[in-house]
Structure 1
Amino acid sequence: MFERFTDEARQVVQRAQAEARRLSHQHTGTEHVLLGLLADPESPAAKALRGIDHAQAEAAIQALVRQPCHGEPLDADLLGTLGIDLDAVREKVEASFGPGSLDRAPFRTRRGALVSGRHLSWTPKAKKALELSLREALALKSKEINTTHLLLGLIREGSGLAIRVLVERGLNPTAIAETLRARPS
């Protein structure tokens, strides 16, 4: 599917994976695609998102997922009530066994390729948004999938964390999509 992506759209997908890793999230979701789109403020998609920038989106995502540390938010809260601080545990383990020692270990794929333990799978909503970006490109009679199509796919998916972030920031995803569809890509 990625062979139809423009270089800019491929970079967004790569940045989405990098953002998920940087935030220590377990999967790559629509919110990470949104961050990938906002990382290049000069892209048509980022310009269409007037009213939110990368830092604001990241802050909104962190507030929504309540995950400033490396543990699952509910697990961290529950363990905290028992007096266990996951960040302190991670620091002690990494002091003893080295940085990243709690990260997932590398593994081999069915074809034998070694994959880093830092590979993150895509959430079903993010996969759907990427699929819908292809449909948006086809509907707009485009031969390639660009950043605008990625944003339209996120909006059309409609229920991912990316949409919640946009709505919380006062943006109207439907109006953004209508504006983007009215412009030539």
Structure 2
Amino acid sequence: MKHLDLYDVLAVAARVLECDPAAAIRSTELDVVDAVLREVAELDDLVDAAALLLSGLVRGCPFSGWNRRVSVAVTLQLLALNGCDLRLEPVEELDDLLDRIGAGEASSSAVAELLRARLNSPLAFASLASFALEGPTWEETVMYEKFSDAARQVVALAQEQARDLHHQYIGTEHLLLGLLEENTGVAAQVLAGCGVSAPAVRTFVEETVGRGQDESSGFVPFTPRAKKVLELSHKVSLQLGSDRIGTEHLLLGLLQEGGGLAAQAIVKGGTDLSHLKRQLMQTIEQRKRAEAAVQGFLTEGAQHSGTWVTHDRGRHLVGELNTILDENERLHEEITRLRQKLRAHDIDPDD
């Protein structure tokens, strides 16, 4: 099991507190953090270690300002470092746990029980955690920190699809099925809008390569093509100026790779790859403009009101604006179809 050191904790604190490392050091009780880390380092069970870490930091209050938020973020970092993720919803239950920890009413075993119930299976990320692209820092700096929650869900669903088909590998076709089954991300929306569906892709896969004979168990590795897709998705996210790898970047990686079973399934279903890429890029640009507009609104509002606008509020506003953009795009497409029908009947829609 991998453990955090003091510098890891300070780096997380600096990100959460939105300050430079020097300020994080000055505002942190280093002795308290060091004592907790030494206790945690003696444990071999990840959940027990995470429970002890969370309990120790919440009770010790070593962070000046937002101690609970930093403590939770540090705990998530430990889990991520070891290939796991934690479901934070419903937050009320987690808030109650933090209250009980702070009051000394929750034992480490009780904390561990809740964490274990919310822990996403490490098998979902075992394949990603196992392979290195250019060097040993890939799994730490890219997978655990840069994959969005939706992208991680895609990987987990891709593994499920491989298991359901009794395949002993995760290929591009399974990643495509994962993107479709995730259902909420940008990629799923664009794929659905272009007529790509999970049942059609699954049927194509079964007709092309068939189902495996034996059930998959334990570690399911990526194929070389699937690894290439992940590498390309990372590069694409950087080219687009994103600090996260989202479902849209995974789909762009699939389209750039272009030679796997996923691309064949899309083409077989009647969707042109170039058209799909154009639609995806248009959607990405729409969202970038929406986020920029909301960020400008938030910044201006905070300057005028003198109040701090929360990141969550910003996310909600971006979501609302994206919904409006989606509705406008659908309305535009409907108007275009109506104009085409009118012209087909020799009626000029502009008269």
Instruction: Mark yes or no: TM-score above 0.5.
Output: yes
* 1:2 aligned to which of 143, 147, 169: 143
Q: Distance in 1 between matches of 2:256 and 2:268?
A: 17
Q: Distance in 1 between matches of 2:236 and 2:278?
A: 12
Write the letter of the residue equivalent to 2:211. P
Structure 1 length as normaliser, TM-score? 0.71
Q: Distance in 2 between matches of 1:154 and 1:69?
A: 23
CA offset digits 1:76-120 (Å, max 9, x no partner)? xxxxxxxxxxxxxxxxxxxxxxxx7xx6xxxxxxxxxxxxx4311
User: Which residue matches 2:278?
Assistant: 178
Question: Which segments of 5 or more consecutive residues in structure 2 lack a partner in the other structure?
Answer: 1-141, 288-351
Question: Which segments of 5 or more consecutive residues in structure 1 lack a partner in the other structure?
Answer: 72-99, 104-116
The aligned runs of 1:28-43 (5 Å cut-off) are: 28-43=170-185
Q: Distance in 2 between matches of 1:156 and 1:179?
A: 14
| More helix per residue | 2
* 1:122 aligned to which of 222, 242, 245: 222
Which structure has more relative contact order (CA 8 Å, sep 6+)? It is 1
Q: Does 1:68 align with 2:211?
A: yes
Q: Distance in 2 between matches of 1:69 and 1:176?
A: 30
User: Which residue matches 1:155?
Assistant: 255
Write the letter of the residue equivalent to 1:70. Q
User: Which residue matches 1:17?
Assistant: 159
* 2:202 aligned to which of 58, 81, 84: 58
**Alignment root-mean-square deviation, CA:** 1.6
Larger Rg: 2
Q: Does 1:166 align with 2:263?
A: no
CA offset digits 1:40-96 (Å, max 9, x no partner)? 33321112113121111111111111x23516xxxxxxxxxxxxxxxxxxxxxxxxx
**Deviation of 1:172 (Å):** 1.2
Q: Distance in 2 between matches of 1:51 and 1:119?
A: 33
Q: Is the CA contact 2:237–2:249 (under 8 Å) kept in the aligned structure 1?
A: yes
Which stretch shows the higher mean deviation, 8-17 or 169-178? 169-178
Write the letter of the residue equivalent to 2:266. L
User: Which residue matches 2:240?
Assistant: 140
- What is the number of residues matched between the two proteins? 141
Q: Distance in 2 between matches of 1:179 and 1:68?
A: 32
